[in-house]
Amino acid sequence: MASQIHFLDIKGKPLLSRNYKGDIEPSAIEQFPLLLLELENGDEDLQYRPFVTSKGINYVFINHNNIYVCALTRKNDNVMTMVVFLLRLIEVLTQYFKSLEEESIRDNFVVIYELLDEMMDFGVPQITDTKILKEYITQDYYKLIRKTRQVQPPNAVTNAVSWRKEGIAYKKNEAFLDVVESINMLINANGQVLNSEILGEIKMKSKLSGMPDLRLGLNDKGIFSSSTNDDDTPSELGASGSRKIEMEDIKFHQCVRLSKFENERIITFIPPDGEFTVMSYRLLSTQFLMKPLILVNCKTVVHKHSRIEILCSVKAQIKKKSTANNVEIIIPLPEDADTPKFTSEYGSTKWVPEKSCMIWKLKTFPGGKQYHMRAELGLPAVVDQEMELLKKPIKVNFSIPYFTTSGIQVRYLRINEPKLQYQSYPWVRYITKSGEDYTIRTKQ
């Protein structure tokens, strides 16, 4: 339960503050710039952390677009709640003002005060749903003037379904599902997968009228063979032999009925209006990813004092029918390299000296194909320290449409609005892409 929330500029100067309880002096935030300075100049043990204590006051803060959003408390409060709230606050304000930065805080201070009022009371988070908040806090006051007395207390807030208001109407009722899987993979120089994970998300954009009740069916492989099924003894698991997807860490949007899923393994929910993530999951099974989807083989030869040679080959180890799009291979180079010469079989290459790397781009990359690239760069004659930079891993970005690595599929999406009984159209798309951490180590 935060006592105060502050927005501060990059130096720690307050931009806007809201006091929720009276138990901390408003001047306490004036310490913040000093604390920041201490964190930055501190020795090894006092390294940067988003939590600081000083004189009995705890500062919990997040840096976003060169501003700090900071919560203060004196008590041993639930700091997880505070951090999640701050992140949500940033999200809501970003949705309200397109982007949240110093300028937009000044431009919208009245709305921000109102939002802070509604989103939190006595330091306890209340509503953090932009859709609902927008129902009764708008930027445009003139709109409000016309219907002043119609502003109602947000019913949805205290209703059982707090994430959807009543009376939504669409001409055409549609629901779009996106199954997105991001692959994180660590590959050693010999092309072996050291570890890998799939981070999956089922996103939805709902344009549905009324209060529809949805039921999402996935193929058996997914959820239903989850290891939490109590009866499976280990021996049976081994004997079954079939490829079982062990879905770990499933997380659902707050609209999904968790106990229903827990007991019957059925996903049912009344969706919020617009875009949201129905569920996210993680698969940590190397069984799907025995080999890299995009394999990069890179040989580097360093001729000290003169030049560096890079020989790189890349292979798409995916089905022939599939195609990887926008493949980018980011190869780190020594900081002091110069005069690049590139020859690639396919795609374009670019040197980015400010990031000390080169990027090899392949717009489309059909499955099973392999391409080569050669690069040569000059090195200064003067001896530098060690070639430490070459230890940085190679990074790969890509996306593969119409394909999920885990094989998860949406079987059906049943939409039922008890009162309106309309015809509706569900759509499904699949895509696999590189996660934030698809890297290949270069050390031999």
Q: Interface residues for other proteins in 187-216 (CB under 8 A)?
A: 195, 199
User: Both tokens of residue 314?
Assistant: 């890349």
Applying CB under 8 A, among 50, 191, 340, 367 the residue interacting with other proteins is 50
Stretch that binds other proteins, among 80-88, 209-217, 345-353, 357-365 (CB under 8 A): 80-88
Please choose, out of 101-109, 168-176, 310-318, 406-414, the segment that lies near other proteins by the rule CB under 8 A: 101-109
Contact 320, 389 (CB under 8 A): no
- Contacts to other proteins from residues 365-394, by CB under 8 A: 386, 388-389, 391-393
Nearer to other proteins, 114 or 213 (CB): 114
Shortest distance (Å) from residue 240 CB to other proteins: 17
106 binds other proteins, rule: CB under 8 A:
yes
d(CA 401, CA 10) in angstroms, rounded, equals: 40
Question: Amino acid letter at 173?
Answer: N
Question: Phi-psi region for residue 204, left (φ > 0), alpha (ψ -120 to 50) or beta?
Answer: beta
How many whole angstroms separate alpha carbon 105 and alpha carbon 54? 27
Long-range contacts of 147-154 (CB under 8 A, 24+ apart): 154/118, 154/127
Question: 171: which residues sit within 8 A by CB, 6+ positions away?
Answer: none
Give dist(CA 143, CA 134) in Å, integer: 13
Stretch that binds other proteins, among 17-25, 214-222, 306-314, 372-380 (CB under 8 A): 17-25
Please select the residue that binds other proteins; options are 10, 11, 109, 363, rule is CB under 8 A. Answer: 109
Biggest CA–CA distance in the chain, Å, is 79
Q: Tell me how far, at minimum, the Cβ of 62 lies from other proteins, in Å.
A: 6
> Phi/psi of residue 88, each to 5°?
-65, -40
326 belongs to the binding site for other proteins (CB under 8 A):
no
258-293 burial, b if ≥16 CB within 10 A, otherwise e? eeebeeeeebbbbbbbeebebbbbbbbbeebbeebb
Q: How many residues bind other proteins (CB under 8 A)?
A: 99
List helix spans (H) across 147-197: 155-158
Work out the number of other CB atoms within 10 angstroms of the CB of residue 441.
Answer: 15
Cα 196 from Cα 435, distance rounded (Å): 10
Q: Per rule CB under 8 A, is residue 234 in the interface with other proteins? A: no
Judged by CB under 8 A, the residue of 25, 38, 40, 121 near other proteins is 121
- Residue 285 binds to other proteins (criterion: CB under 8 A): no
Can residue 76 be called a binding residue for other proteins (CB under 8 A)? yes
388 CA to centre of own chain: 31
**Closest separation in Å from C-beta 394 to other proteins:** 11
For position 94 contacting other proteins by CB under 8 A, the verdict is: no
> What residues from 19 to 48 belong to the interface with other proteins (CB under 8 A)?
21-23, 44-48
Does the footprint of other proteins cover residue 163 (CB under 8 A)?
yes
Only segment of 10-18, 311-319, 354-362, 406-414 that touches other proteins (CB under 8 A): 10-18
130 lies in the binding site for other proteins (CB under 8 A): no
Starting at the earlier edge strand, list the strands of the sheet with 338-344: 294-303, 307-316, 370-378, 338-344
Q: Which of 94/344 has CB closer to other proteins?
A: 94
The reply to whether 122 sits near other proteins by the rule CB under 8 A is yes
- 266 sits near other proteins (criterion: CB under 8 A): no
Exactly one of 65, 66, 78, 416 binds other proteins (CB under 8 A); that residue is 78
The single residue listed with the structure tokens 């717009």 is 363
- Token pair of 21, please? 């309880």
**Binds other proteins (CB under 8 A): choice among 41, 147, 152, 235:** 152
- Provide the token pair at 13: 């100067």
> Shortest gap between Cβ of 22 and other proteins (angstroms)?
5
